[in-house]
Amino acid sequence: MAKNLLEQLRNYTVVVADTGDIEAMEEFRPQDATTNPSLITAAAQLPQYQPIVDGVLKDARNELGASAADKDVANLAFQHLAIAFGKKILAIVPGRVSTEVDARLSYDTEATIGQGRSIIAQYDKAGIGRERILIKIASTWEGIRAAEVLEKEGIHCNLTLLFGLHQAVAAAEAGVTLVSPFVGRILDWYKKDTGKDFQGADDPGVQSVTKVYNYYKKFGYKTLVMGASFRNIGEIRELAGSDLLTISPHLLAELEATEGDLPRKLDPEAAKQQVIVKIEMGKTTFEAMHAADRMATDKLKEGIEGFSAALVKLEGLLAARLAELEQRQPATV
């Protein structure tokens, strides 16, 4: 019996679920899972997860006291909500979950370090070892520096919103555990910029991840590559062999429903044979390469703004839910 594409992909690549939907994880049983503020916001609005949301709000109110403003309780609650979802996810997946630092801290190294330590402390308190957690941080220069400090403390990091080779090189030299280059968002930018469509190996997002993967394997970096943000299974097929791929539930379902051959496209031994120039990376080089890369500049800015907006929306939803709960049950919340 022929194997479907998802089964074949698992022979080469660790499959990660890109969702906050716990039911989807139970269906597809990925090795790892990753979320982001937009996914957590969407999941928090689903009726089946309301008990999780209500429990986090109650704990935040108890922690801050009855006199604290609703907006302050909501702010604390959103920090705890991602961890509450993370704990649920880790009861399903055998591997790791990525929990994201507040995107509004993306250009603040010290604040990012502080929140990364806080996230790990909360997982520690719940009896979950740090080997199962990745702290997700935007791939700004400041975020990469924060990740470097956290990694030296044994706190593993996932550098997200990664669009350019300069970000990938800086992250690897900082010793981060994993990077998440955004395939689909790169494709979106080039389609809009050029008015053209791209397929298969011509997809600029596929080319970007391939370049990062080959660079890492050529020069022996331990940092893993996890392609993310896919628009179609054609992109996934072209990146079979990447260390990890994080895939949304609807594309996981499409891969599972599709039969045919899935050859390995990315291979560490093949990468080692390529002629690649090593980049000496420092802040000046990083900033120059970033400024010269219109796509990376646009998409990093857009991504941070989008995740920040999702957090503002989530805080608003939490504040409204808190007011509703306290109006209904003033003695117990």
The tens digit of pLDDT for each residue in 261-288 reads 999 999 999 999 999 999 999 999 999 9
Residue whose token pair is 């609650």: 77
- Position 1 scores a pLDDT of 63
The pair of three-digit structure tokens given for residue 25, joined into one six-digit string: 């994880």
Residue whose token pair is 């791939």: 139
- Over range 169-179, report the average pLDDT: 98
Judged by average pLDDT, the poorest of 74-83, 132-141, 159-168, 288-297 is 74-83
- Position 78 scores a pLDDT of 84
- Position 41 scores a pLDDT of 86
Angle of CA points 175, 180, 183, to nearest 5°? 145
pLDDT, averaged across the chain? 94
Question: Does 330 have pLDDT greater than 80?
Answer: no
The tens digit of pLDDT for each residue in 184-209 reads 999 999 999 999 999 999 999 999 99
- Over range 73-82, report the average pLDDT: 87
- Note whether 225 and 181 are within 8 A (CB): yes
Task: Read off the amino acid at residue 246.
Answer: T
- Note whether 123 and 86 are within 8 A (CB): yes
- Over range 58-71, report the average pLDDT: 90
Structural domains in the chain, sorted by start: 5-328 (3.20.20.70)
Judged by average pLDDT, the poorest of 56-60, 231-235, 279-283, 284-288 is 56-60
Over pLDDT 90: what percentage of the chain? 82
Q: Which of 88, 125, 136, 152 is flagged as catalytic?
A: 136
Q: Is 136 a catalytic residue?
A: yes
- Position 273 scores a pLDDT of 96
